[in-house]
Amino acid sequence: MKTGSLARLVSALVAVLVPILFLFPSAAGAAPPTLDLAIELDPATRRLVVQADLSPASRDFRFELHEALEVTAATADGKPVAVRPTGRRGFIRTWLVALPPAADRLHLEYAGTLPALDRTLDHRDVLQGLSPVASAEGSFLPSGSGWYPRPAALFAYRVTLTVPGDQRALVPGRLQSEEIPADGSGHGSGPGSDHYRARIEFAQPAEGIDLMAGPWVVRERMMPRASAEPVRLRTYFFRDLEAIPGLADGYLDDTRRYLERYEAEIGTYPFAEFSVVASPLPTGFGMPTLTYLGADVLKLPFIRATSLGHEVLHNWWGNGVYVDYARGNWSEGLTTFMADYAYKESESAEAARAMRLGWLRDFAAVPAGDQQSLADFRSRTHGAAAAVGYGKAAMLFVMLRDAIGEDAFRSGIRAFWQTQKFRTASWKDLRAAFERASGRPLDAFFEQWVGRAGGPAVTITAADARRTAGGARLTLTVKQNAPAYALHLPVQLVFPDREEMRWIDVEPEREAVTMDVGAMPTGVRLDPELQVWRMLGQEQLPPILRQWIIARAPYLAQASAAPEVREAAVALAQRLFEVKPQPLALGDMSKASEPVLLAGLHADVDAALKQAHLPPRPERLAGRGSAQVWTVPVPDGAPVAVVSARDVESLRALLRPLPHYGAQSWLVFEDARLVERGVWPAPARLIPVWHTP
């Protein structure tokens, strides 16, 4: 699971529009403007009442609020001022207030009934944009949803939260105090009222404020540090999560482990808190001082070993150093490299290679028209963007480390943090840090990998060897597409008794590279460990479900005639694809020009495959689980993915889990539980060496 915060997406849009003065307040040496909020939220009735105090950036101050919220009072330095709505954008209304010339501080009061929490939303719905929502089960007011007036692009804030006594609430920041009802549970103390109150401050320049509330049980532990104040670690878990033995303690233990790891690698953790907060939605958001994760996700055994570390690391990259979104989001790639990929490297070389292969296969599934440069990537709103912003960006750091060396790379990371902490930074700032650390120019490297969309298609077209007195002289003819990249390429030399890795540098579209070797090689492989971002050859590209998920004009072919099965297949296809699929008759499957999804019950699917002259159900999947999914390469046509289920209930059970497995070629499910998965094998091609007499 990757972080995809609506808050950061909206902040990106704001950052493009606001004056440069407010983009870089810390760089200019000025303290950020401060927003004070007093908030009362009743999740059961969804009623929100807010008092806001701020110093506007201009006399004619425009601010945005959700359409459910109405301004009830406005004063400037204690005197009433007029405020009126001036326009709207979706569910957001713009308000205008004109301040008198001498007025310095604006006081706003507003209130309304928030939309209800919709538990049917999936992760795509949440990433595409979410209103502030409230419910006794859980409330989430995202930063970009218009629940508070934003004084500037970056600002500090102080928040006082009041919710009913059976609820807890928080925003990112330092907990200054909290009052808990006398009969409540958790930590803190209070006068025994029937409400929970918390005062939270965020003194650094922040991009926005996310508010969360829920009927949580709070568990706390302090993490001492030798050279800085202790860190307050917390879990905010629903009672069913809290009841799972060892779960909350495990999250607290692993949070501390990740904080200590990244303090050693990067620099001191910049905050005094970190909380793991359970969400009723299928979210995966990283925010300063906390992560907001779906309750069902928190139960999964692998999340603590993967996603938790990713979210902790975002407190350095994205929440500690801000992203200059107008020039490209670098933080997701750097976080993926230092978290997800680093964990695979620690596991084994094979696991790390498998992740690199997944990135390259994901990218190969992106249509050419949907490929974007890293400079244009803002956030993960669909699969094509994720293949670039996470996969390509992470691979850039793999290649950079190979180019400048481990020591220089680590020095560059630490220097970037020390220089840019709580500032807005771009790819250019990253480049400058690594240039200073390595003592070499890197402008060409960053220009081609950040500024250009796509990737090189590079091949070895010929390999010739001639015996010499010391062994042999090997000549490789390397070809790439135009315009050519400056490439640092690994090449594996295969001898009768061993293998050897060499690195070569190529720049033109076609170049002959010569090297002396100790013996006559029998073959060569280009980049067999997949250490360079490139378009893989077809021999390394068995179809994966990502091709269907992000297809521009996919088709759905129905194998079964029963109405309830066809209805379930349509629902599944609409959930799997990012665009609505078009129906396709079974007899027209061979004529399709875009990926086809064939769905139905087992016997009907087998008959449809035979009718279309496609390969039968793979033997390794036959008879296993309640549903099977697999991809079929079609040499002379569009690829076909097959969803075959035992019954209509088994087909419906795939609605939620199936879209999460785009990197796979085949899957076996027992109801909604994944039993097994895999990618069809595709080894690197061996190029034979021609021995010249």
Tell me if residue 633 falls in helix, strand or coil: coil
Residue at 429 is within a domain: yes
pLDDT in the model for residue 204: 92
pLDDT tens digit sequence for 30-86 = 678 999 999 999 999 999 999 999 998 788 999 999 999 999 999 998 899 999 999
Q: How many CB atoms lie within 10 A of CB 484?
A: 17
Instruction: Give the residue ranges of the chain where pLDDT is below 50.
Output: 1-28, 184-192
**Alpha carbons 323 and 301: distance in angstroms, whole number:** 31
Same domain (yes/no): 189, 330: no
Residues 463 and 447 in one domain: no
Q: How many CB atoms lie within 10 A of CB 371?
A: 17
Question: 3-state DSSP call for residue 575?
Answer: helix
Check residue 78 and give left, alpha or beta (phi > 0: left; psi -120 to 50: alpha).
left
**Residue of 336, 328, 590 lying closest to 449 (CA atoms):** 328
Q: Are residues 406 and 484 in the same domain?
A: no
Domain that holds residue 575: 546-678
User: Residue 121 has what pLDDT?
Assistant: 64
**DSSP label of 394:** H
**Cβ–Cβ contacts within 10 Å for residue 553, how many?**
14
pLDDT for residue 347 = 95
SS3 of 147, please?
coil
Q: Give how many domains the chain has, as a whole number.
A: 4
Q: What is the pLDDT of residues 333-366, one digit of tens each?
A: 999 999 999 999 999 998 999 899 989 988 988 8
Nearest to 201 by CA among 155, 165, 242: 155
Task: Give the chain's mean pLDDT.
Answer: 90
Q: Which of 215, 243, 268 is the last residue of a domain?
A: 215
Distance CA 578, CA 599 (A): 17
Residue after which a domain boundary falls, among 425, 451, 477: 451
CATH number at residue 502: 2.60.40
Q: Tokens 């007011």 belong to which residue?
A: 141
Q: Of the residues 215, 231, 248, which one is the last residue of a structural domain?
A: 215
Take residue 441 and report the two structure tokens written for it. Answer: 């120019």
- Residues sharing a CB contact under 8 Å with residue 264, sequence separation 6 or more, in sequence order: none
Same domain, 520 and 556: no
Residues 88 and 196 in one domain: yes
Residue 493 and residue 607 in one domain: no
Q: According to the model, what pLDDT value does residue 684 have? A: 78
In a domain, 684, yes or no: no
DSSP-derived letter for residue 321 is B
**What is the C-alpha separation between 499 and 513, in angstroms, rounded?**
19
Note whether 615 and 636 are same-domain residues.
yes
- Alpha-carbon distances, residue 284 vs 3, 127, 314, 500 (angstroms): 5, 9, 12, 43
Q: What is the pLDDT of residue 482?
A: 92
Do both 110 and 198 map to the same domain?
Answer: yes
Q: Identify the CA nearest to 138 among candidates 25, 8, 278.
A: 278
**Quick one: tokens of 3?**
């972080």
347: CATH: 1.10.390.10
Quick one: 137 and 211 in the same domain?
A: yes
The H-assigned helical ranges of 337-456 are 342-347, 349-364, 383-386, 393-404, 406-420, 427-438, 443-451
Asked if residue 244 is part of any domain, the answer here is no
The answer to whether residues 436 and 465 belong to one domain is no
Tally the C-alpha atoms within 13 A of residue 389's C-alpha that lie toward its C-beta.
23
- Of 366, 364, 358, nearest to 551 by C-alpha is 366
Q: Indicate whether 68 and 201 sit together in one domain.
A: yes
**Residues pairing with 449 in the sheet:** none
**Chain mean position to CA 262:** 19
Q: Is residue 190 domain-shared with residue 56, that is, in the same domain?
A: yes
In 10 A of CB 111, how many CB atoms?
16
pLDDT of residue 468: 94
Cβ atoms < 10 Å from Cβ of 187: 13
Quick one: which of 210, 434, 254 has its CA closest to 330?
434
Per-residue pLDDT at 693: 78
Which CATH number fits the domain that encloses residue 625? 3.30.379
Give kind and range of the element (H or E) at residue 95. Answer: strand 92-98
pLDDT at 129: 58
In a domain, 655, yes or no: yes
The reply to whether 600 falls in a domain is yes
Residue 160 lies in a domain: yes
SS3 of residue 577 by DSSP: coil
Q: Is residue 46 part of a domain?
A: yes
The answer as to whether 293 is a domain residue is no
Q: Residues 6 or more apart from 554 whose CB is under 8 A from it?
A: 548, 573, 577, 579, 581, 582, 594, 595, 596, 597
